[in-house]
Structure 1
Amino acid sequence: MRVTRRTTAAVATATALVMTLAACGGASSGEAEPSLRTHTDVGVYTWWAAGVEKTGLDALADVFEKQHPDIRFVNDGVTGGGGSAAKDHLQSRLENQDPPDTFLVHAGAELDDYIADGYVVDVSDLYKKYGLTDVFPKDLIDQLSTEDGKIYSVPSNIHRANVMWANPSVLEANGIDPSARYESIDAFIADLEKLDQAGITPLSVGTTWTQVHLLETVLLGTLGPDAYNGLWDGSTSWTSPEVTAALENFKTVMSFTNEDREERDWPEATKMVIGGEAAFNIMGDWAVSAFDEADMTLGEGYVAVAAPGTAGTFDFLADSFTMTADILSPESTEAWLETVSSKEGQVAFNKIKGSIPARTDVDRSGFTDYQRMALKSFEEDAIVSSLAHGAAVPVAQLNAVSDATLKFVGANGHGDVSAFQSALAASAG
């Protein structure tokens, strides 16, 4: 058993109890020794420390405590910083044998290193126990499964990465279809040129990770879902002419973005569309919270459509929870995963966070117009894995892709498609 702070505390408590009973003459040779497995906590590690994420976590914890009143939810995560900083902190805890009972991770290839290092355990049996294989789409089960058919996390939600947000008033004022629907990247680029000539920022983007996010949607929109998936399973070569064309498209699209992108994160880039400074932004559907806060109505104040060339495809990422290996009470963690996967837990959490449940059997009446649209797409469209958000590639490869993207289109980027393509091919090993 790995030694944790909680384990140490339990040992100390048990030792003190033994000494007290002995001093009082209350322990006899026939009585059971105090057990280290008597605590009824579950320590949950996330980076959800503010905004709708924290509110959503609180709602999920409320459902958990109603479903499992004998187990206490403990927020065992970081109180500040984003996912990247939290993952570094988590890695330190895992390496120092101080693991939380369960931790937040993006489902998919991001888990590979945790699996290889033995930090998480297979939870496939829970999928059978709670009937999740019947209520999660088959495509999602396939995306969650390793090559040997094991599953190591339970998704609390589903986000869609390939969403384009647009200001219809800006489009209409410049003679562009305000529906913002594009069947191809080429058609999209033609309208970016019109907006640029009119003095409008055509497409807003933020710092490097948002540019990688844009890269994945351009790859998907140029290659199509099958060839895009092939980048991750090896059936599509990174050095192919099709990928060259996609990277040329990415370079062109990036040339129509705001020059101060390195000074912005996704909220600031989204606000450019909200304020009419930019026509388009491509970002995951967590961006809907910014439009909601601005009291804008879908279809009137803003539109949300599939990114150019990606209609009929749902580019997924999922906030998921693991069962950490060698923890004090696996039963408590199983209870948390049961709540995370339950109808009640998924509905309560996703209504707040703006994402959608992984389950297909939930009552949709209480969800927003955008969420109902996303639920329909998730149910009907081909599902592919997000590059920028850990579903498609391990952390090391994503870091290499991010470094290559910064060198390509960063403030001092070389702009050499051939060198960019070689770096991406090298990242795939």
Structure 2
Amino acid sequence: MKVLRQALLGLVAVASIGTASAGEVEVLHWWTSGGEARAVGILKDLLEEEGHTWKDFAVAGGAGSSAMTVLKSRAVSGNPPTAAQIKGPAIQQWAELGLLGNLDKVAEEGNWDTLLPEVVADVMRYDGHYVAVPVNVHRVNWLWANPEVLADAGVEMPTTWEELFSAAEKIRAAGYIPLGHGGQPWQDATIFETVVLSVGGSDFYRQALVELDPEALQSDTMIESLKLFKRLRGLMDEGMPGRDWNMATSMVISGDAAMQLMGDWVKGEFSAAGLTAGEGYLCAPAPGTADSFTFNTDSFAMFRVNDEGAHEAQRDLARLILEPEFQIAFNKIKGSIPVRTDLDMGEFDQCAQQAMQDFKASIDQGTLVPSMAHGMALSSAAQGAIFDIVTSYFNASDMTAEQAAERLANVANSAL
């Protein structure tokens, strides 16, 4: 981000970005799978009903990393999109460069301070001002399963890791892959952070993966977490390298795999396949994490524009995102839950209803933690360094848990 900062500071004066035509919003996002594309289409339709034009700029791959690469390139050239899907600490980094628009007026009119949980609102602000609008809340620490596969193998949905490993033996004996997975660094890190949460609890998770405490990263608890994480590698198939997350979900849908550890965006794929929660697929908090909630919040930031039509379209887009109509319709398709906690969840499936209940409880109990794997906890540099270590350890036969823990601690020491 340092190179980007140097390039962009010279462009802030040019950040008038007046290239958008009246009422047009070019929206950069990475929602390209079947369920995601359906969900973002709702926002597009609502904005166009307001009389504006939505110019779609979708960039697939890498849980958003590819989109961020494109965004940096566009920003360096002085031509960023009008709106972009940005989240976590990256929001603060873009705002610090002076390129994001101020949404305080929309926030005041929409009463965002009351509607949004403070932990989410904090992420959307820079220097006390709203610069982004949250779309949803995803729970990352979920376990998903195909009930027909479990029944055929004669096992129940596991609630502990040992139950999962025991079930996996029977599942494999019945001819199925126990755990569907995509061998990409962010997917490996998703499972890793879930294991850390289950072994160490929310306080340890914060120390290790949010605060980057070197002692926590090299502790016995981390070593235990790494060993458990590595055991899970044995439950996956050898075809996983490079596989996208939705392809792993398709393995569960088709019955090739029994389970998947992934955030609740997978529900968009289940829904697109015509499956119903509790019948066509099962959900449960990942083993050992029922009392905690790892959150990932999608959000949109608006880049500064001079064109009044584009500015008005940005304000309407921000307003529409938090209105009940969009919050309910979008999140039912996307698989997430509304970021507003005041909405009736009666239209949502049982997994979403449980997620909202657990979300509220985790706020009250102090067990709500930001996802490291999904860009909610660390800078992109620190996150990338952890990804490298985690995925190398996961796939290497000659790296011990102790060595991996030492490397994680080195990342923390270099970041301090």
Which range, TM-score by smaller chain? 0.7 to 0.9
Stretch deviating more after TM superposition (48-57 or 276-285): 48-57
Cα distance in 1 for residues equivalent to 2:373 and 2:30: 17
Letter matched to residue 268 of structure 2? S
> TM-score by structure 1 length?
0.81
Correspondence list, 1:215-230, <5 A:
215-230=192-207
Name the SS of the counterpart of 1:246 in structure 2: helix
Q: Is the 8 A contact 1:120 1:152 kept in 2?
A: yes
Cα distance in 1 for residues equivalent to 2:168 and 2:61: 34
- List, as ranges, runs of 4+ consecutive aligned residues in structure 1 with deviation greater than 6 Å: none
Cα distance in 1 for residues equivalent to 2:233 and 2:410: 22
Q: CA offsets per residue over residues 296-328 of structure 1, 9 Å max, x none?
A: 332233210000111022211111011224654
Higher Cα Rg: structure 1 or 2?
A: 1
How has the CA–CA distance of structure 1 residues 119 and 63 changed in structure 2, closer, same or farther, with 3 Å as cutoff? same
What is the CA-CA distance between 1:376 and the residue it aligns to? Answer: 2.3
What corresponds to 2:4 in structure 1?
Answer: none
Q: Choose which of 230, 233, 238 in structure 1 pairs with 2:211.
A: 233
Name the SS of the counterpart of 2:217 in structure 1: coil
Q: CA offsets per residue over residues 362-389 of structure 1, 9 Å max, x none?
A: 2333333332332222222332111211
Stretch deviating more after TM superposition (277-286 or 358-367): 358-367
Q: Is the 8 A contact 2:181 2:236 kept in 1?
A: yes
Q: Is the 8 A contact 1:201 1:257 kept in 2?
A: yes
Cα distance in 1 for residues equivalent to 2:115 and 2:243: 39
Cα distance in 2 for residues equivalent to 1:101 and 1:111: 15
Q: Choose which of 204, 216, 238 in structure 1 pairs with 2:180.
A: 204
Q: Choose which of 296, 299, 303 in structure 2 pairs with 1:317.
A: 296
How has the CA–CA distance of structure 1 residues 6 and 111 changed in structure 2, closer, same or farther, with 3 Å as cutoff? closer
How has the CA–CA distance of structure 1 residues 295 and 55 changed in structure 2, closer, same or farther, with 3 Å as cutoff? closer
Name the SS of the counterpart of 2:99 in structure 1: coil
Name the SS of the counterpart of 1:322 in structure 2: strand
Asked whether 1:136 is paired with 2:116, we answer yes
Asked whether 1:267 is paired with 2:256, we answer no
How has the CA–CA distance of structure 1 residues 322 and 415 changed in structure 2, closer, same or farther, with 3 Å as cutoff? same
Q: Is the 8 A contact 1:206 1:269 kept in 2?
A: yes
Correspondence list, 1:21-40, <5 A:
39-40=22-23
Name the SS of the counterpart of 2:195 in structure 1: helix
How has the CA–CA distance of structure 1 residues 391 and 255 changed in structure 2, closer, same or farther, with 3 Å as cutoff? same
Cα distance in 1 for residues equivalent to 2:336 and 2:165: 29
Asked whether 1:188 is paired with 2:168, we answer no
Cα distance in 1 for residues equivalent to 2:179 and 2:286: 12
What corresponds to 1:425 in structure 2?
Answer: 409
Q: Is the 8 A contact 1:317 1:385 kept in 2?
A: yes
What is the CA-CA distance between 1:426 and the residue it aligns to? Answer: 2.8
What corresponds to 1:29 in structure 2?
Answer: none
What corresponds to 1:7 in structure 2?
Answer: 18
Asked whether 1:61 is paired with 2:44, we answer yes
- How high is the sequence identity, in percent, across the aligned residues? 32
Name the SS of the counterpart of 1:226 in structure 2: helix
What corresponds to 1:393 in structure 2?
Answer: 378
Cα distance in 1 for residues equivalent to 2:327 and 2:292: 23
Cα distance in 2 for residues equivalent to 1:8 and 1:150: 25
Q: Is the 8 A contact 1:247 1:417 kept in 2?
A: yes
> TM-score by structure 2 length?
0.83
How has the CA–CA distance of structure 1 residues 132 and 181 changed in structure 2, closer, same or farther, with 3 Å as cutoff? farther
Q: Choose which of 95, 99, 105 in structure 2 pairs with 1:115.
A: 95
How has the CA–CA distance of structure 1 residues 45 and 275 changed in structure 2, closer, same or farther, with 3 Å as cutoff? closer
Q: CA offsets per residue over residues 7-44 of structure 1, 9 Å max, x none?
A: 3688xxxxxxxxxxxxxxxxxxxxxxxxxxxx333332
Asked whether 1:405 is paired with 2:386, we answer no
Letter matched to residue 391 of structure 1? M
Name the SS of the counterpart of 1:304 in structure 2: strand
Stretch deviating more after TM superposition (242-251 or 252-261): 252-261
Q: CA offsets per residue over residues 181-220 of structure 1, 9 Å max, x none?
A: 41x4344344445545666432221122211111111111
Cα distance in 2 for residues equivalent to 1:277 and 1:49: 23
Give the alignment's Cα RMSD to 1 decimal. 2.9
Name the SS of the counterpart of 1:310 in structure 2: coil
How has the CA–CA distance of structure 1 residues 61 and 189 changed in structure 2, closer, same or farther, with 3 Å as cutoff? same
Q: Choose which of 380, 397, 400 in structure 2 pairs with 1:416.
A: 400
Q: CA offsets per residue over residues 277-305 of structure 1, 9 Å max, x none?
A: 33321011111233234433322332100
Q: Choose which of 349, 354, 364 in structure 2 pairs with 1:373.
A: 354
5+ long unaligned stretches in structure 2? 1-11
Length, aligned pairs only: 392
Q: Is the 8 A contact 2:28 2:59 kept in 1?
A: no
What corresponds to 1:24 in structure 2?
Answer: none
What corresponds to 1:160 in structure 2?
Answer: 139
Asked whether 1:213 is paired with 2:194, we answer no
What corresponds to 1:276 in structure 2?
Answer: 255
Q: Is the 8 A contact 1:285 1:355 kept in 2?
A: yes
What corresponds to 1:35 in structure 2?
Answer: none
Q: Is the 8 A contact 1:407 1:413 kept in 2?
A: no
How has the CA–CA distance of structure 1 residues 378 and 327 changed in structure 2, closer, same or farther, with 3 Å as cutoff? farther
Asked whether 1:249 is paired with 2:260, we answer no
Cα distance in 2 for residues equivalent to 1:128 and 1:260: 51
Q: CA offsets per residue over residues 27-62 of structure 1, 9 Å max, x none?
A: xxxxxxxxxxxx333332223356332332231122
